[in-house]
Amino acid sequence: MTLNTAAADTAAPAALDADQLAARIAAGHRLTEAEALAVLATPDFATLPLVGAAGTLRRKHFGNTVKVNYLVNLKSGLCPEDCTYCSQRLGSKAEILKYTWLKPDEAVAQAGYGIAGGASRVCMVASGKGPTDRDVDRVATMVEQLKEEHPQVEVCACLGILKDGQAARLKDAGADAYNHNLNTSESLYPEICTSHSYQDRVDTVQQAQSAGLSSCSGLIVGLGETPEQLIEAVFALRELGSESIPVNFLMPFDGTPMEGTWLLTPLACLRILALVRLACPDKELRIAGGREMHLRSLQSTALEVANSIFLGDYLTSEGQGAAKDLDMIADAGFVVLGQEASSPAEVARRLQHAAHAASAHEAPAGGCASGCGTGCGSAATGCGPSAAREPVLRRRGAGTQQGPNA
């Protein structure tokens, strides 16, 4: 049985008092499996009240701030692993950008675009099973340079499975966090990857924690997991002590084994996010890859339970325009973390910066910068991922001659 992602409006209401449950969790109660199943079984008509109840926990711990994160893809494609969901996997026929390591100056310059758009954390990511010691030294140089130019910005590295001593090297260079997602439950893991194990991922998160790095570990939902498997994964993250939990919504790239897999609805995504908030009330919860195509018009509603987003583009696909991201945050009554005291003029300046960057990309002759084929000229006009059913491959930013979406 796959995850019931579209509870019918006519279904009998689940036996769940969301307000009471959230109040109990605020007082110290830990969400149980039975309660978690009831959360996922919430009918569509009761989902927004569920979001409101879970949102009381979000506001208790994070107020009305939204943390803005920015991805820099240091090395794209060319991965020997066989993760079924990934456009960078071995054997992928997805027509993604493929390039080897960015130079340190280029990586720092790319990060600077996101920081100028309001990002308080930069995530430096490289494809592959895991880094060599030379790779770690290369990234450490980037971290040191980025911290020298932007000392106030957090840096999170995501380089795959770590070997002994590598997390400590990154910490010594100034990295603040390490990302390595569990992605799904231990029971489902062998079905989505055979080239490394679930335990390899747990071990890497624990190595990062032991080195003093903040742990960032999350999920990909929509892989065909059952409700029980989804709860298993969320509770594993709770036990692991993940301080930042990104929730990715499967982007079924053409040319991968998950091509054509569409198991989520916007309301189902809200229920999943509410589950994570109720299970991990004081943890950073990030709506990550795939939010545009799965949450669609409910992206701002998701901010009632999530307190963090990625700005602009992802590793191999385009995201919603950065200016739209910042507008969305402001329109929903939230403020960007670190800009709580900013004047309206300063906020407007940042929005103008993001809009300028988004419109600075020149479309190829007769085509569209977003690759949608409509000839509109720019993803910023609305033909990009926020309006697309399929992933839109990234053709700008790191590894290209085009400016990034930030």
Binding residues for [2Fe-2S] cluster, as ranges, are 123, 156, 216, 286
First to last CA, the chain: 40
What does the H/E/C string look like for 183-217? ECCCCCHHHHCCCCCHHHHHHHHHHHHHCCCEEEC
**Burial class of residue 224, CB neighbours in 10 A (0-12, 13-18, 19+):** middle
Residue 86 is a catalytic residue: yes
Record the tokens describing residue 287, joined without a space.
Answer: 């709506």
* 323 three-class SS: helix
260 φψ region: left (φ > 0), alpha (ψ -120 to 50), beta (else): left
CA angle centred on 71, ends 68 and 75, rounded to 5°? 170
Sign of CA dihedral 16, 19, 22, 27: negative
Selected catalytic residue, list 216, 269, 372, 383: 216
Closest CA to 129 of 168, 83, 73: 83
Record the tokens describing residue 32, joined without a space.
Answer: 């149980």
Binding residues for [4Fe-4S] cluster, as ranges, are 79, 83, 86
Fill in the DSSP letter of residue 373. S
Residue 108, CA distances (Å) to 149, 168, 310, 326 in order: 9, 21, 17, 22
Selected catalytic residue, list 86, 269, 280, 368: 86
Are 123 and 69 in contact by the 8 Å Cβ rule? The answer is yes
Are 384 and 392 in contact by the 8 Å Cβ rule? The answer is yes
CB contact set of 379 (below 8 Å; sequence gap of 6+): 318, 321, 358, 361, 368, 369, 370, 372, 385, 392, 405
CB contact set of 62 (below 8 Å; sequence gap of 6+): 284, 307
Selected catalytic residue, list 58, 156, 291, 350: 156
Residue 277 is a catalytic residue: no
Residue 376 is a catalytic residue: no
Residue 368 is a catalytic residue: no
Fill in the DSSP letter of residue 298. G
365 vs 403: CA distance, rounded Å: 17
CB half-sphere exposure, 374, CA atoms < 13 A: 13
Binding residues, as ranges, are 79, 83, 86, 123, 156, 216, 286
Residue 156 is a catalytic residue: yes
Residue 79 is a catalytic residue: yes
Residue 158 is a catalytic residue: no
181 vs 183: CA distance, rounded Å: 5
Selected catalytic residue, list 58, 123, 271, 372: 123
Are 237 and 277 in contact by the 8 Å Cβ rule? The answer is no
Task: Supply the residues annotated as catalytic.
Answer: 79, 83, 86, 123, 156, 216, 286
